[in-house]
Amino acid sequence: MAGLSAARTLHRAGIQVTLLEARDRVGGRIHTIHHGDEVIELGAEFIHGRPPDLWRLIKEANLDTYKLGGDDLCHENGELKKCDEQDETVGFLDRLLAWKGPDIPFADYPPLQALPPDQRNQVINYVQSFNAADYGQIGVHALAVQQQAEDEIESDSIFRIRGGYASLPEYLADDLRRAGVPIELETRVDRIEWQRGTVEVHAHTAAGPMHFRAEHAVIALPLGVLQQRAVAFDPVPSALAQADQLRMGPVRRFTLLFKDRFWAQQESVQFPKLSFLFAQDAMPPVWWTPHPAYSTSLTGWIGGPRSGAFDDFTPTQLGEAACRELAKIFNLPGEFIQAQLVSCMSHDWQQDPYSGGAYSYVPAGALPAVLAMATPVNDTLYFAGEHTDVTGHWGTVHAAMRSGVRAAQQILSAPRTV
């Protein structure tokens, strides 16, 4: 979304643009698949709140959306009940805005250490799950900036695109293609040689090597790809050292498709309005449905360090393990849950060479690195992507969009060398 947004802004300003995309599709970490009538999101899924730039594009594309709603349940001491802890946790994080101390890891934050053990664990689990972060690394200043940013867009309201999130980048790509902008899919960049006012990009496709030359380049590679040095730069820009100060968070998410909505139909369960389910002692600790949209799917989510628990699992093993957890949560026979399972669908973003992780977070002391990454390099290289967002919305689609528009505007303001 960063690259597409940058390309659209530049093209509309009369600048000739070419997009290079390593994958065989647009959208990056937005990845929708369809299984019969079910819309399965393997990457970004939610519209968090009401970011105006994202909503303008959704309306322009005439995409149908709906607001998530229903019952949020917590599983504690073998019992399922409606949650009340989430409001307490969000309230605790909102108080980060009053912190006047140094930028320290959240683990060292004195008010966190003062909480009773159970509440402390709830807050830690929330931070690690939501931010895909290690609470021993993520900084309190970044968390405070993020909380304020979320409050400004009413992020407690969550929406989905009914036909799938991928319809948004596909709309942008189709719009660009109609305007004559080339989008080169399955074109993997190997090396970028540059000097002020000139960029040479060396890439390869199945048909052989390709070379591109331009006055400017928007580098919309995910943070994980930059940190792996998957693309060589000559000379190495200072932005890469800044990228190394940030962190790419790991996530394990998967969607289980069942024959029926057993959580709504079994006499001993009957939660027809199930939305989110929190079971902090389970793996995964967070589940959700697309309610109020009808679906026979449940999505499991593990963010942060705990996500490595399923690193070596095949999809079949993942589905079996998840069914065992659900059997405990819903107090139903494991054989029944397993017999209900139709498919387990997942994507390993950590091992994906074109992402290197799920999304970014900012460790203690690294906020200046975000601003440095958003600064043009010799009016020639412009880094974009959710990790370069300067508005505190890291890890979101609207952050990626904003970063692309920001990079494009910087190019339009740069000195021209005809």
Helix 52-60 × helix 397-413 angle, to 10°:
90
Indicate the pLDDT class of residue 326, thresholds 50, 70 and 90.
Answer: very high
What pLDDT does 79 receive? Answer: 86
Residue 85 has pLDDT above 60, yes or no: no
Indicate the pLDDT class of residue 88, thresholds 50, 70 and 90.
Answer: confident
CA dist 362 to 65, 214, 353, 393, Å?
31, 32, 22, 11
Indicate the pLDDT class of residue 405, thresholds 50, 70 and 90.
Answer: very high
Domains in the chain, ordered, with CATH?
2-64+162-248+353-413 (3.50.50.60)
| N residues, the chain | 418
What pLDDT does 76 receive? Answer: 85
Indicate the pLDDT class of residue 187, thresholds 50, 70 and 90.
Answer: very high
* Long-range contacts (CB closer than 8 Å, 24 or more residues apart) made by 121-127: 121/280, 122/85, 122/88, 122/89, 122/280, 123/89, 123/92, 123/93, 125/280, 125/285, 126/86, 126/89, 126/93, 127/93
What pLDDT does 418 receive? Answer: 45
What pLDDT does 84 receive? Answer: 67
Q: Which residues pair with 192 in a beta bridge?
A: 201, 233
CA dist 134 to 143, 220, 355, 364, 372, Å?
12, 25, 19, 11, 23
Distance CA 31, CA 35 (A): 13
Strands 65-67 and 19-20: unpaired
Q: Quick: pLDDT tens for 262-273.
A: 999 877 788 999
What pLDDT does 411 receive? Answer: 98
Q: State CA 395 to chain mean position distance.
A: 5
Cβ-based burial of 45 (10 A; exposed 0-12, middle 13-18, buried ≥19): buried
Mean pLDDT across 158-168 = 97
Say what percent of the chain tops pLDDT 90.
90
Q: The tokens 């002020």 sit on which residue? A: 196
Helix 2-12 × helix 397-413 angle, to 10°:
40
Mean pLDDT across 218-239 = 98
Cis, peptide link before residue 272, omega less than 30° from 0: no
Note whether 98 and 111 are within 8 A (CB): no
Q: State CA 166 to chain mean position distance.
A: 13
Distance CA 306, CA 303 (A): 7
Mean pLDDT of the chain: 95
Distance CA 324, CA 327 (A): 5
Ramachandran angles phi, psi of 382, nearest 5°: -130, 115
Q: Quick: pLDDT tens for 93-140.
A: 999 999 999 999 999 999 999 999 989 999 999 999 999 999 999 999
Q: Quick: pLDDT tens for 4-52.
A: 999 999 999 999 999 999 999 999 999 999 999 999 999 999 999 999 9
